[in-house]
Amino acid sequence: MNNVKDKIDIRSLGLEALQEHFIRMGEKSFRAKQIYEWLWKKSCFSFNEMSNISKELRSKLDENFVINNVKINSSQVSADKTIKNSFILHDTHLIEGVLIPTPGRMTACVSSQVGCSLTCKFCATGYMERKRNLNPDEIYDQVVLIDKQARENYGVPLSNIVYMGMGEPLLNYANMMKSVERITAEDGLNMSAKRITVSTAGIAKMIKKLGDDQVKFNLALSLHAANDEKRNAIMPINEQNSLKALAEALKYYYAKTKNPVTYEYIIFDGVNDGIQDAVELAKFCKHLPCKVNIIEYNPIAFASYINAGEDKVEAFAAYLQKQGINTHLRRSRGKDIDAACGQLAIKEKAKVTEV
């Protein structure tokens, strides 16, 4: 089986399935565990690098299997040390991942889909067609590559992971969950689930499923308005997942997990920046323990949204804090590079198309 198309993506197999393949190949099943460790614990992307495996077996692996690893296509380094990557997948699709260094933490922002189907009006990825879901190993690889960047550039390993890149994680639920399992497993990257945050635009039934699965990682909701009319205008997903439905789903999630929720709120000038908007947000926050991250916007060419003025942002945050809501201002990172989610992938795709 020399044709790559005929080879099995080895990381699509669980340990038991891999053991069964090895037995059929005439190999001892314990060899599968060795290979599995190379693939997931040591993050090995080449059979030839598996030093405790015989050359004969490595050759047999190369004949039957393939490792569809993610590669860095290009990187941009910001003055604030943020590193934004365009990653290329085995089928030539492009995605993004970002290394965000801040005092006390080193965060990887990873993608879960190629493009996105949700058409949020302020998001560059929302203007891209969704091509496909990422496989668990493709999400895992982003973490591995960004961790390597953190160590090589700043001498510090990753401390946190956020699923806030391209795509909607809850619309790639099974693969997202499998990637978290591999990242947190002892025979994987062995990172704490409490260091992982999955961000959603708001899929009510899948938020409930997170509760049913009693996940250990953190949940963030990209809210941006606590008013259905306004949220419908900027996030069409709200038309099928109203604030009432989201509130019910989040209360269900909290009852099952006891995990507080983070609300992400970008304050757009003249859109959702008034005190009445803050009043509505404070009311929404009363449903369950939460915190609010007020996020500075990275404008994109496709949309006319801009940041609210500093005075309005501060007044908005001050109102929430007076209501006893845990509120944080998050300054934009990587302003001098293609910082907004999707921008770099769109630019790199355009280069490829021109060629």
Q: Reading across the β-sheet that carries 326-330, which strands appear in turn?
A: 71-77, 83-88, 94-102, 105-109, 160-163, 196-200, 218-222, 261-266, 290-295, 326-330
Catalytic residue among 109, 138, 341, 348: 341
Query: In which residue are the tokens 């989201």 written?
Result: 246
Cβ–Cβ under 8 Å, residues 120 and 141: no
Task: Tell me which DSSP letter residue 268 carries.
Answer: B
Annotated catalytic residue within 96, 138, 280, 348: 96
d(CA 296, CA 268): 9
CA angle 297, 233, 117 (to 5 degrees): 80
123 is known to lie in a ligand binding site: yes
d(CA 176, CA 191): 15
**Residues 19, 29 contacting (CB under 8 angstroms):** yes
Q: Does 109 qualify as catalytic in the annotation? A: no
- Flag whether 167 is marked binding: yes
Helices and strands in the chain, H and E counts: 11, 14
229 is catalytic: no
Residue 12 is labelled as binding a ligand:
no
**Residue 116 among known ligand-binding residues:** yes
Q: Are 138 and 182 in contact (CB under 8 A)?
A: no
Kindly tell me the sign of the dihedral angle through the C-alpha atoms of 109, 225, 331, 104.
Answer: negative
Interacting residues of 194 by C-beta distance below 8 A, sequence separation 6+: 216, 217, 218
Q: Report the chain's C-alpha Rg in angstroms.
A: 22
Please tell me whether 298 is known to bind a ligand.
yes
Report DSSP letters for 212-243, one per residue: HTT--SEEEEE-S-SSHHHHHHH-GGGGTS-H
- Residues labelled catalytic: 96, 341
**Binding site residues for S-adenosyl-L-methionine, as ranges?**
167-168, 199, 222-224, 298
**Residues annotated in a binding site for [4Fe-4S] cluster:** 116, 120, 123
